[in-house]
Structure 1
């Protein structure tokens, strides 16, 4: 048996059939000159078992991404973000049940990016395709509340392909959801932290506690002690106490910058740029306070990534894209060599494959925390003079590392707008307390920015500030106990 592909002109008809026949659409975005696409035809779609399952359980359609016509472009714009081939299992409304992991990486076919086209074979094998088809079908059953069928398919995937790590992890994650009748537990809360430093952990704990308090207590008498000095007059309610903690973080930044200017270590332009990124990063992180994991995979906006896809993309871009290009340019510049693009194959070989599609919000944010801090540490050693080193990537000509870091700063801000828009479209409304909690993350970013490039600087003052904020978190927890 062979796969009988429909084409772009049949796509809308297949979506209607999908609704009637209760079969998902298998979308294959394909380019004839892509080696990975050719490999799919030779080693995956030619497999009789795969061809049989595709024809029996899905409605397959192939859309060519090279020189697309209007019908193809409409589909591509809704379903391809970075590379082809892309293989997805779709619902009748075009939302994604599943996207295959391990498909070869290929730069999207748009102006600029095609100048650094990297043709890589990927590592999707016949067995991994079979495993993920089972997982995709199970996720489709889960979405349709067919929990017994979902569990059966997840179990089959695990039993047949126990060596496929991504499949086993994803099947275990979603099987638990099916077993609980579709309940997806919220993973990031005051009981489960993602930050690592004592100051960040104190702020996160306070913010998460504030976020779960009802707005009705925002202006009620505060149960904790008054603030120090003149703050004693502004410690009468939760709103004022949050403001106080925020300002204390900002005040610390003022003192730290002044002390560094007087006594060192030097605060150079690299540190200032990385400080801007830390602020953008903490504001990005604050978006997820109070966001349930159930919203991670919703796609309320046509032609938009899900929240998971946005978050995974930001993490991937910072670690799998910006990092290798920046460090490679720095190394070549220090050795007097001209700028050179890092091939995608080298990036994957060094850093592994990007994220899959099953991690919890807590796991995604905790990973981002680790990678962000590592990047900041490594980049902080770039001197002001080295900011002028030229870096080659997808642009039509090399740019300075100074500009590369500016674009690095903007990236989480860009996707923060997208995520906020998705939350709004999904009907998720941040409470007033959520919004106050997010201001605490902004204050944290301001304080941390003043310490970049100065490990251990003002350690006693940092410890005192963390202790003060932890006291406020304890008081907020007591208030939560009273109103719960």
Structure 2
């Protein structure tokens, strides 16, 4: 009796199988393969040759293999739609081509569109037959969950844990998605006035105030304020929530004016790098403010056909800033300081140093908290670049090296670019920010103004920062008391 093999369809059968997938309720397994990729070759030798894997792949999916070496037009369209800059080679797809699951540990492939193909990167991955089997059960469970087959999803998740209790990725994914299935598809929101992602005391105070304001209904916006009036001339503008938010915003902006003046007088001196990083902080906090009031239930929704989810955008943001921009900038800086020519950092080096980028199960709070930590670390490590060093050349996917100044300018644009994508997804999902959400977002704008004035300093104006933090925390306390008086909403629901 011949050994069962995976019978792969090709790129020309892909769309027909997606149509069958919708009719037969059977997902498509997409394998992006290259004979030049050691990890891909290993899959054929050690994973797809496993009779249990081959049987399950054929029974539960429509398997499609697209070869990424010298692709034709049909292959390139699929590759560019399913490799988000740099993505795993194995994905389980819904009929609309959105992803139920990407295999953690599978080789990662670089997108083929103009530019990226000039520095085509492969990482071999570390997927084993057992890891594939574990994630296959999770992937099928997520597909069942998405189709509201909660009992089937729980059964698949339980089977994954029973068979693979020592697989960390599987355990983490199952612990999240099994609870959702058990709750009938209800996903708990994780970033609100009770859960914070910022780390510095001033940012934490602003976030707490903003999240509490966002939780309040719009009908309290103009009600008499229950807290104390502002100091000085602000006493005339403390009569309602709207005015108090304006006051806190302006106090953050006034602090920035003071900080810039004191830096000009006493140092540390502002340089162009600090200004560029300040612009990035603006873009980052504005991006972060988009998520005020956004429930976790929207993370994986795909209201725009063939476009990526909020989760995928967020995971990409983290990957781009930490696994891409950071190593290329620091590598170019190190080589430039040593008088060496520019050189690209291989993707394999990045994975070896930092591990895999985020997976597909983190909560909104976890993703934003990770982004916060990595963003602040990047700002700190980039702030030592001098004005002269901004002229150092950096090699990456462009056809020639560019200056670090340009690299940082592109770094600034990146969160602004994806903010548009997130906003578009939220709009298509029917999510509307309330007036209070919008006022809360202005507090993040004030925060970014204050923070930008301190980039490149350590402990500068610490006393004034503490005083400002105390004032905003007092406002957050007052807003929390107002929230406790409101009985027609539930705290934490955006």
Aligned twin of 1:364: 367
Deviations 1:201-244 (A, max 9, x none): 10000000000111111112211111111212221211111111
2:95 alignment partner in structure 1: 92
Q: Which residue pairs with 1:53 in the alignment?
A: 56
Q: Secondary structure at the match of 1:46?
A: coil
Alpha-carbon distance, 1:36 to partner: 2.8
Partner of 2:480: 477
Partner of 2:225: 222
Name the structure 1 match of 2:490.
Answer: none
* TM-score under structure 2 length normalisation: 0.95
Mapped partners of 1:190, 1:334: distance in 2: 45
Aligned to 2:410: 407
Question: 1:88, CA displacement in angstroms?
Answer: 1.5
Q: Against the structure 1 CA distance between its residues 247 and 178, is the aligned structure 2 distance closer, same or farther, given a 3 Å change threshold?
A: same
The one of 193, 196, 203 aligned to 1:193? 196
Q: Is the 8 A contact 1:31 1:85 kept in 2?
A: no
Equivalent residue for 1:234, pick from 233, 237, 249: 237
Q: Distance in 1 between matches of 2:138 and 2:283?
A: 36
Residue 15 (structure 2) aligns with: 12
Unpaired runs of 5+ in structure 2?
488-494
Mapped partners of 1:388, 1:94: distance in 2: 43
User: How far apart are the structure 2 equivalents of 1:394 and 1:94?
Assistant: 27
2:123 partner SS: coil
Match of 1:313 in 2: 316
Quick one: distance in 2 between partners of 1:385 and 1:74? Answer: 42
Residue 265 of structure 1 corresponds to 268
Query: Shift of the alpha carbon at 1:85?
Result: 5.7
Residues 85/184 of structure 1: CA separation in 2 closer, same or farther (3 Å cut): closer
User: Given the alignment, which residue of 278, 299, 304 partners 2:307?
Assistant: 304
| 2:108 and 2:122 in contact (8 A); partners too | yes
In structure 2, relative to structure 1, the CA distance for the partners of 1:386 and 1:356 (3 Å cut) is same
Partner of residue 133, structure 2: 130
Q: CA deviation at 1:118?
A: 2.2
Q: Which moved more, 1:221-230 or 1:453-462?
A: 221-230
> RMSD across aligned C-alpha pairs, in angstroms?
1.4
Q: Is 1:164 paired with 2:182?
A: no
Q: 2: CA distance between counterparts of 1:409 and 1:14?
A: 41
Q: How many residue pairs end up in the alignment?
A: 484
| 1:439 equivalent in structure 2 | 442
**Is residue 456 of structure 1 aligned with residue 455 of structure 2?**
no
- Which one of 44, 47, 56 corresponds to residue 44 of structure 1? 47
CA shift at 1:9, angstroms?
A: 2.7
Instruction: Determine helix, strand or coil for the equivalent of 1:26.
Output: strand
**Cα distance in 2, alignment partners of residues 11 and 112 from structure 1:** 26
Once the two structures are superposed, the pairs formed by residues 287-302 of structure 1 within 5 Å of their partners are 287-302=290-305
Report the Cα distance in structure 2 between the residues aligned to 1:243 and 1:276, rounded to whole angstroms. 22
Q: Report how far residue 411 of structure 1 moved.
A: 0.8
Per-residue CA distance 1:35-82 (angstroms, 9 max, x = gap): 332222222212111110001111112223344444434433432222
**1:342 partner SS:** coil
Q: In the alignment, which of 114, 118, 121 is matched to residue 115 of structure 1?
A: 118
Q: What secondary structure, in the 3-state scheme, does the structure 2 residue paired with 1:219 have? A: coil
Mean Cα deviation higher: 35-44 or 172-181: 35-44
1:236-251 residue pairs with structure 2 within 5 A?
236-251=239-254
Structure 1 match to 2:392: 389
Structure 1: gaps of 5 or more residues: none
TM-score after normalising by structure 1: 0.97
Larger CA deviation: 29-38 vs 358-367: 29-38
Pick from 186, 199, 202: which aligns with 1:183?
A: 186
The structure 2 residue matched to 1:144, chosen from 128, 142, 147, is: 147
Deviation for aligned residue 1:268: 1.0
What is the SS of the residue equivalent to 1:429? coil
